[in-house]
Chain A
Amino acid sequence: NAGVTQTPKFQVLKTGQSMTLQCAQDMNHNSMYWYRQDPGMGLRLIYYSASEGTTDKGEVPNGYNVSRLNKREFSLRLESAAPSQTSVYFCASSILRGAGNEQFFGPGTRLTVL
């Protein structure tokens, strides 16, 4: 049981290049999320998918697109990378249990845009 996996772990892009960050979970969770983490800013939600076939914008969606390929996979695409998108990107999936909607995070992708 790998949990939430993300590829790649590290990536360097030049301004204007495009790339797709991949995320997969093997916990049969319905909901999946993409966050970015910047120093001193906490985690900010980019996009989320409450269930297979649906996606919605979060707090900071500009410059990103997502695809919920199936129940397991949720990808994040940067069409034209900008230096402001230099960040650590985390994918998460969630299950409703205990006190609420418990989210499980992947190990992150460190992206640098030059």
Chain B
Amino acid sequence: QQQVKQSPQSLIVQKGGISIINCAYENTAFDYFPWYQQFPGKGPALLIAIRPDVSEKKEGRFTISFNKSAKQFSLHIMDSQPGDSATYFCAASVRNLIFGKGTKLSVKP
């Protein structure tokens, strides 16, 4: 049973554009929603995270939007750059993290 569904699987965006990755969850007990960024050959690294009592969190060009009633959350990358090309994972947890399957983002110059 996949508890966190992530889409799209892959995304191609032009430099300067907005990248949007979506996740949906089922377990209403989840209380922590992080996004991880992974470059090829490296381990994932925390990018930004949110709790369900907040509808939006922004850190630089990265924003999480959270919709508790719809059980959805999304990552927005503003002014996307080629250096943002990586695989992004959403996750959710009560105790341990449940990861989405990942989105491979390619930002074209």
Q: Are B101 and A48 in contact (CB under 8 A)?
A: no
B-facing mask of A70-114, CB < 8 A → 1, else 0? 000000000000000000001010000011111111111000000
A33 to B98, CA, bound (A): 13
Q: Are B96 and A48 in contact (CB under 8 A)?
A: yes
Which chain B residues (23-63) contact chain A, with CB distance < 8 Å? 31-34, 41-46, 49-51, 57
Q: Are A105 and B44 in contact (CB under 8 A)?
A: yes
Question: Is B12 interfacial (CB-CB < 8 Å)?
Answer: no
Tell me which of A13-21, A35-43, A61-69 binds B: A35-43
A31 to B102, CA, bound (A): 24
| Closest Cβ–Cβ distance, residue A97 to chain B (whole Å) | 10
Q: Which residue of chain A has its CB nearest to the CB of B54?
A: A99
| Closest Cβ–Cβ distance, residue B47 to chain A (whole Å) | 11
| Closest Cβ–Cβ distance, residue B90 to chain A (whole Å) | 9
User: Chain B residues in contact with chain A, CB under 8 A?
Assistant: 6, 9, 31-34, 41-46, 49-51, 57, 89, 93, 96-97, 99-102
Not counting A42-B102, A90-B44, A99-B57, a sample of 18 additional A-B residue pairs whose C-beta atoms are within 8 angstroms of each other reads A4-B43, A40-B9, A41-B101, A43-B99, A45-B97, A90-B43, A98-B49, A99-B32, A99-B33, A100-B32, A100-B49, A100-B51, A101-B93, A102-B49, A105-B43, A105-B45, A106-B43, A107-B41
